[in-house]
Chain A
Amino acid sequence: MHDVNVVIAGAAGEGIQTIGAIVSKTVLDQGYAVFTWQEYESRIRGGQNSYSIRISDQPHNTPLIEADILLALNAEAVEKYRPLIKENGILISGESSEGSSIRIPFSKVAKDELGKKIYANTVAVGALIGALGIDLKTLQKEIKNRFADKADEILEKNRLAAEKGYEMADEGCRDLCPWNLPKRDGRFYHISGNEAIALGAAYAGCRFIAAYPMTPSTEIITYLAENENLGVFAEQAEDEIAAIGMAIGASYAGTRAMTATAGGGFALMVEHVSLAGMIEVPVVIVVGQRPGPATGLPTRTSQGDLLFVIHAGHGEFHKLVLAASDPLDAFHKTVRAFNLADKYQIPVMLLTDQFLTDSGFSFEEFDIDGEKPATFLADPDAIEDYKRYQLDDSGISPRLYPGQSKHLVGVDSDEHDERGHITEDLVNVALPMAQKRLAKNKKLKKDVMPPQEIALDEADTVLVGWGSARAALLEALDLLKADGINAGVIHFSEMWPLPDYSFPANKKFWTIESNATGQLARLLRSEYNVIFEGRIHRYDGLPLTADFIRTNFNAKRK
């Protein structure tokens, strides 16, 4: 099938989220994959935002910008988003706007037919489902589920409102709507990056999260706090410094602990990243990227914090930086982050971005098997004289936690001896201790996964990207093929330390990044000496798409 793209536009607070959620669940239940993507302003009321639903028979987890159907909830939304409508696309609106294909005065219908304006959005949902050619039954089931705990009257009114909208769209649609989405057998998981990370953390055995609210990472602690049965102690800290401080304290006390923030909050955490490196306490930090500097564009996306995160922390110590490609990968990377933080007793940063965290991706299977949660604590009974920082060629000393046994556990942010006590003995104590910590990198580097190579054999051009750009890069290959270009992809998702890897010979490399200064290119050039033929940078706050990559590639290669 040809993918169908629906864009719902309206002011913040007008209900596009609710409409989007009901429509996408209905489409899913009809047996189709959906990719949902939101683009919104940093405000609670007003502004004009959109919620896009890409519908396909198998998962296509990248946004389409052009709309087959635009549902606009107000006149301003019509003006702002009308240019997105495809040649044969339609506009459904409640306003008497010119050029509207189907005009349904949602509020008036709701008031006249159901007695209350609040049913207007359900009328709109019905209209959209009608225009898409989906059975009304599937929508009615979803409405029944969604309003199950509401009074009977409310449920009934919503059913009627949906039916009314559906009928009106049916009439208006006659010659305009070619779409037909009959019930099919497909079943898909539809999940966002943040939800997957929260579940991955619980699965990994994380029992403590402290965080300070900041888009785009707030949903992680929200999910864990809401799902009390997961047994995760969730605390909203007074600031990001306290958030990571609490997580490190919890981890020292023996549990798996994490925090989650954006670039600005992570900036406040940096001293503690260095502390975790020094006292060798594992901690997982999710950094959701959004455009900076400073507060930047709070609700938009970016890959602009790569070098900042890799270099975060004063002094020299080892850390691991992972970057998730999609929610399934985010789930597994979260487990991996906890395992490797434990194994090497280091801070691990997991990079995401607003696009990954806020979008809903479809998966046919969401297999949680893969890397299993593994712990690396020492056995107190096997130790006679315990030293938290016992020198060892591997750099890894036995880790116990306080109260676990008779053994005392002391840690110190000052340079310290094997028992964790302050030292000023430079030659006999401080230097060997620094060398012990730095020795971890040898094994750690071997644990880091090489980049994923896709279609390299045939390719003369290679698109090099990282993190959440993966799906757009893959889709771009198909588009470029149509333009007569044989391209492949090298995709990085484990960013630091960089693994041992050689770039293939005789190919032209292009970096594709959501930042202005080519941070990945700079990193790879310094580590692998690779030369880039071209660069495509997107830094307008919107995600990389296959179209964007193709257009810019073709414009730049001449």
Chain B
Amino acid sequence: MPKENEFENDVASQWCPGCPNFNILDAIKSALVELKKSPDQVCLISGIGQAAKLPHYLQCNFFNGLHGRALPAAIGIHATNPQLTTMVVTGDGDCYGEGGNHFLHALRRNPDITVVVHNNEIYALTKGQASPTTPAGEKRSIQAKGVQIAPLNMPAIAIIHGCGFVARGFAGEPKHLKDLLVAAVRHRGLSYIDVIQPCITWGTRPFSWYKDRVQQLDDDYDTADQSRALEKVMESSEKIPIGVLYQASERKVFGHRFREIVDQRPLPELDPIDAEEIKSLLQGFRSAP
């Protein structure tokens, strides 16, 4: 099979045939091509789940770590080498459940990375339990009588905390999603896309249910208006808005102070410390001559 672009690889997929995850994968590959990245400049980080398997299915550097822990790894990678295009690919369980705390603190740190959450409102890999985004009342395998607790609205939380790029995409509209990804990677600072990804195996609603409801934001929607953005993600409407919900003038990015002292080079490329410097610091611990 001729490779469409250099991000293609031939690793066999463990996703269900027809899963909307394939569309997200295609959108990411196309976005990277449009951004003129080469595979060695890109690092994809994920946790565990069906979504988190995505980094295996394209040609690039990847770190497929522990369930819920993609963000700490990504922050360590980004701090070490800010020149890499660092992207976290994760699920609603991985990112909002097991790793929720890390997400909150990533909002505070504002690392220059992109977080893509495949939100299928379910734990797919473990066969259909509720996730933090499952609407109350919906049935899942453990929650046979319907989920008893409220869902989490992470885009709202991100907007409140001034995340500089908050978007919602739909796996059923890969071209639109690709455009969001390109803008997200270009954004300097944390960019976050919650992607609606209907689960065709365990989900309770058909794909068409979502297709009928998603609606791109109007052209005159002001992405700089934080209150309006918050209203938008909190309003209960028949329609699900997709597009850039909020984009803020750029905040200081994670590590900027360190990088003012030490330049942008990857840490392993810095000169080794001089033994004399250690010896001179040790003199500070010594009694006066």
| A contact set with B: CB distance below 8 Å | 25, 28-29, 31, 141, 186-191, 195, 199, 202-203, 205, 207-208, 210, 227-231, 233, 235, 237-239, 241-255, 257, 271-272, 275, 279, 366, 368, 373, 377, 401-414, 420-422
> Quick check: B285 and A242 within 8 Å, CB to CB?
no
What residues of A have a CB within 8 angstroms of the CB of B258 in the complex?
233
Could you give 7 example pairs across A and B, Cβ below 8 Å?
A191-B285, A199-B281, A210-B76, A231-B270, A245-B71, A403-B81, A413-B65
Beyond A28-B288, A231-B273, 11 additional pairs, beta carbon < 8 A: A189-B286, A230-B273, A230-B277, A242-B102, A257-B80, A272-B69, A275-B66, A403-B83, A403-B266, A408-B60, A409-B61
> Quick check: B45 and A249 within 8 Å, CB to CB?
yes
> Quick check: A250 and B39 within 8 Å, CB to CB?
no
Check B145 for interface membership: any CB of A closer than 8 A: no
What residues of A have a CB within 8 angstroms of the CB of B64 in the complex?
410-414, 420, 422
> Quick check: A408 and B61 within 8 Å, CB to CB?
yes
Check B130 for interface membership: any CB of A closer than 8 A: no
**Of the residues A25, A202, A410, contact of B61 by C-beta under 8 Å:** A410
Q: How far is the CB of B270 from chain A (nearest CB, A)?
A: 6
**Of the residues B62, B80, B255, B270, contact of A410 by C-beta under 8 Å:** B62
| B contact set with A: CB distance below 8 Å | 11, 14, 39-41, 43, 45, 48, 53, 55-56, 59-66, 69, 71-77, 79-81, 83-84, 101-102, 104-105, 255, 258, 261-262, 266-268, 270, 272-273, 275, 277-279, 281-282, 285-289
Q: How far is the CB of B46 from chain A (nearest CB, A)?
A: 9
Q: How far is the CB of A521 from chain B (nearest CB, A)?
A: 35
> Quick check: B83 and A29 within 8 Å, CB to CB?
no
In the complex, what distance in Å separates the CA atom of A377 from the CA atom of B43?
A: 19
What residues of B have a CB within 8 angstroms of the CB of A414 in the complex?
48, 64
Nearest-neighbor residue (CB-CB) of B41 within chain A: A403
In the complex, what distance in Å separates the CA atom of A248 from the CA atom of B75?
A: 10
> Quick check: A187 and B289 within 8 Å, CB to CB?
yes
B261, B262, B266: residue with the most chain A Cβ atoms closer than 10 Å: B266
Q: How far is the CB of A468 from chain B (nearest CB, A)?
A: 19
> Quick check: B48 and A249 within 8 Å, CB to CB?
no
> Quick check: B267 and A207 within 8 Å, CB to CB?
yes
In the complex, what distance in Å separates the CA atom of A420 from the CA atom of B285?
A: 46
Asked whether A420 and B80 contact (CB < 8 A) given A255-B267, A368-B282, A402-B40, the answer is no
What residues of A have a CB within 8 angstroms of the CB of B14 in the complex?
422
B62, B65, B83: residue with the most chain A Cβ atoms closer than 10 Å: B65
**Of the residues A239, A241, A401, A412, contact of B268 by C-beta under 8 Å:** A401
> Quick check: A252 and B79 within 8 Å, CB to CB?
no
> Quick check: B285 and A195 within 8 Å, CB to CB?
yes
Nearest-neighbor residue (CB-CB) of B271 within chain A: A231
> Quick check: B287 and A233 within 8 Å, CB to CB?
no
What residues of B have a CB within 8 angstroms of the CB of A241 in the complex?
69, 72
In the complex, what distance in Å separates the CA atom of A188 from the CA atom of B283?
A: 10
**Of the residues A28, A188, A402, contact of B77 by C-beta under 8 Å:** A402
**Of the residues B45, B261, B275, contact of A228 by C-beta under 8 Å:** B261
A-B pairs, 5 with minimum CB distance: A249-B76, A245-B72, A402-B61, A249-B73, A254-B268
In the complex, what distance in Å separates the CA atom of A403 from the CA atom of B55?
A: 16
What residues of B have a CB within 8 angstroms of the CB of A186 in the complex?
287
Please report whether the interface of chain A is mostly helix, strand, loop or mixed according to DSSP: mixed
> Quick check: A237 and B272 within 8 Å, CB to CB?
no
The count of A-to-B residue pairs whose CB atoms sit within 8 angstroms is 206
Nearest-neighbor residue (CB-CB) of A405 within chain B: B40
**Of the residues B76, B102, B278, B286, contact of A203 by C-beta under 8 Å:** B278
Asked whether A231 and B261 contact (CB < 8 A) given A246-B72, A279-B65, A414-B64, the answer is yes
What residues of B have a CB within 8 angstroms of the CB of A205 in the complex?
272-273
> Quick check: A366 and B73 within 8 Å, CB to CB?
no
What residues of B have a CB within 8 angstroms of the CB of A248 in the complex?
65, 73, 76
Asked whether A189 and B76 contact (CB < 8 A) given A403-B40, A420-B62, A422-B53, the answer is no
What residues of A have a CB within 8 angstroms of the CB of B255 in the complex?
233
**Of the residues B45, B77, B101, contact of A250 by C-beta under 8 Å:** B77
> Quick check: A29 and B287 within 8 Å, CB to CB?
yes
What residues of A have a CB within 8 angstroms of the CB of B266 in the complex?
253-255, 401, 403-404
Asked whether A408 and B40 contact (CB < 8 A) given A202-B278, A231-B262, the answer is yes
> Quick check: B102 and A255 within 8 Å, CB to CB?
no
What residues of B have a CB within 8 angstroms of the CB of A141 in the complex?
288
What residues of A have a CB within 8 angstroms of the CB of B66 in the complex?
245, 271-272, 275, 413
In the complex, what distance in Å separates the CA atom of A231 from the CA atom of B257?
A: 11
Q: How far is the CB of B11 from chain A (nearest CB, A)?
A: 5
> Quick check: A253 and B81 within 8 Å, CB to CB?
yes
What residues of A have a CB within 8 angstroms of the CB of B270 in the complex?
207, 231
> Quick check: A237 and B79 within 8 Å, CB to CB?
no
Nearest-neighbor residue (CB-CB) of A210 within chain B: B76
What residues of A have a CB within 8 angstroms of the CB of B104 in the complex?
238
Q: How far is the CB of A274 from chain B (nearest CB, A)?
A: 9
What residues of A have a CB within 8 angstroms of the CB of B65 in the complex?
245, 248, 275, 279, 411, 413
What residues of B have a CB within 8 angstroms of the CB of A408 in the complex?
39-40, 59-62
Q: How far is the CB of A401 from chain B (nearest CB, A)?
A: 6
What residues of A have a CB within 8 angstroms of the CB of B43 in the complex?
253, 402-403
B62, B71, B79: residue with the most chain A Cβ atoms closer than 10 Å: B79
What residues of B have a CB within 8 angstroms of the CB of A243 in the complex?
72
> Quick check: B61 and A403 within 8 Å, CB to CB?
yes
In the complex, what distance in Å separates the CA atom of A526 from the CA atom of B179?
A: 62
What residues of A have a CB within 8 angstroms of the CB of B289 in the complex?
187
In the complex, what distance in Å separates the CA atom of A410 from the CA atom of B281?
A: 39
Asked whether A249 and B278 contact (CB < 8 A) given A189-B285, A242-B105, the answer is no
**Of the residues B105, B267, B279, contact of A208 by C-beta under 8 Å:** B267
Q: How far is the CB of B177 from chain A (nearest CB, A)?
A: 24
Q: How far is the CB of A35 from chain B (nearest CB, A)?
A: 14
Asked whether A235 and B40 contact (CB < 8 A) given A190-B285, A410-B61, the answer is no
> Quick check: B272 and A373 within 8 Å, CB to CB?
yes
In the complex, what distance in Å separates the CA atom of A410 from the CA atom of B43?
A: 9
What residues of B have a CB within 8 angstroms of the CB of A187 in the complex?
286-287, 289
In the complex, what distance in Å separates the CA atom of A520 from the CA atom of B278?
A: 34
Q: How far is the CB of B218 from chain A (nearest CB, A)?
A: 37
B71, B275, B282, B285: residue with the most chain A Cβ atoms closer than 10 Å: B285
Q: How far is the CB of A347 from chain B (nearest CB, A)?
A: 14
A254, A373, A406: residue with the most chain B Cβ atoms closer than 10 Å: A254
> Quick check: A237 and B72 within 8 Å, CB to CB?
yes
Q: How far is the CB of B275 from chain A (nearest CB, A)?
A: 6
What residues of B have a CB within 8 angstroms of the CB of A411 in the complex?
62-65
What residues of A have a CB within 8 angstroms of the CB of B61 in the complex?
402-403, 408-410
What residues of A have a CB within 8 angstroms of the CB of B277 in the complex?
229-230
Asked whether A250 and B80 contact (CB < 8 A) given A279-B65, A407-B40, the answer is yes
Nearest-neighbor residue (CB-CB) of A227 within chain B: B281
**Of the residues A202, A235, A403, A407, contact of B273 by C-beta under 8 Å:** A202
